[in-house]
Amino acid sequence: MKVGIIANPHKAGAKAALERLGDVLRADGLEAILSRETAELAGETGGLSDSELAEAADVIAVLGGDGTMLNAMARLGGTEKPIAGINIGTLGFLTSCTDGEIDSFGAALKSGNYSTSRRTLISARVIREGEEPREFIALNEAVLARGQTGRLVSLSASVNGELLNNYRADGLIVATPTGSTAYSLSAGGPLISPSAGVFVITPICPHTLSQRSLIVDDEVVIELSPEDTSDGPMLFTVDGRDCMEILAKDRIEVRKAAQKLNLLRLEDRSFYAALRQKLNWRGG
């Protein structure tokens, strides 16, 4: 088995975790292949481009945290190879284990004692008159939000061509089930099981408190657009990156992407266990 490795060089402890992972993989008879940035962190020459790594590896290990996982997912170009996050610190929602559990991770790869959780991705198209549409892929969410004015903005959302609502808010989030534990949760949205075939539409700090999150089927097309030209340009982001200014007549179409992301899970780990740990749930 070839294990591709992408490490966040800006994360404290990344180099030590990388060295430990390399030692464990070699001891288990597995081959480690490094991205160019990771090879530089290890003090080695060479390394593969992100696309080459995605093609060559059987499994990809990402050393960092949930943010590193989101960034790696975008860089790997929609690969459906299993991706395992090794969190440097406490366990994240997207990561398979911590850097203190690398031995267990190596043993799981050697024995095949792991599973994959198939996660829905968002495909978002920004449509601007006279230009080719720009396309983005997201694991967590697509967000249309206020720009630099600091004021509430007016925007509309439709589902399969039918008006859902006109919002006066700081913005609007369209999240996958995976993204329900991220920005949408902070904005008051519900927690959703990763296997649910839905999107959640969550307003950010709406002017009217009756404007709540809505869960819709993930087979629909959701369209977002600014409503008031006096609001000035708005900002569109996916997974907290790829920020793009949105003008008055622009439209954003959000739908389920054709590909999915396969997150590697160790056998003794689950989404529900991560919820209990990250949200500090306790029984009565």
Please list the active-site residues: 66
CA distance 186 to 182: 7
Looking at the DSSP bridge assignments, the partners of residue 166 are 156
Task: For residue 284, give both structure tokens.
Answer: 């009565």
Give the strands of the sheet with 171-175, arranged side by side.
214-217, 198-204, 171-175, 141-145, 234-238, 241-246
Please give the single-letter amino acid code of residue 28. Answer: D
Q: Please count the other Cβ atoms lying within 10 Å of the Cβ belonging to residue 17.
A: 23
Instruction: Label residues 253-282 b or e (16+ Cβ within 10 Å = b).
Output: bbbbbeebbbbbbbeebebeebeeeeeeee
Q: Using N-to-C axis directions, what is the helix angle for 102-111 and 14-27, rounded to 10°? A: 30
**Which DSSP category does 65 fall into?**
-
Give the span between the Cα atoms of 243 and 176, in whole angstroms.
19
DSSP summary character for residue 232: -
- Between the alpha carbon of residue 254 and those of residues 81, 144, 161, 223, 230, the distances in Å are 24, 11, 12, 6, 25
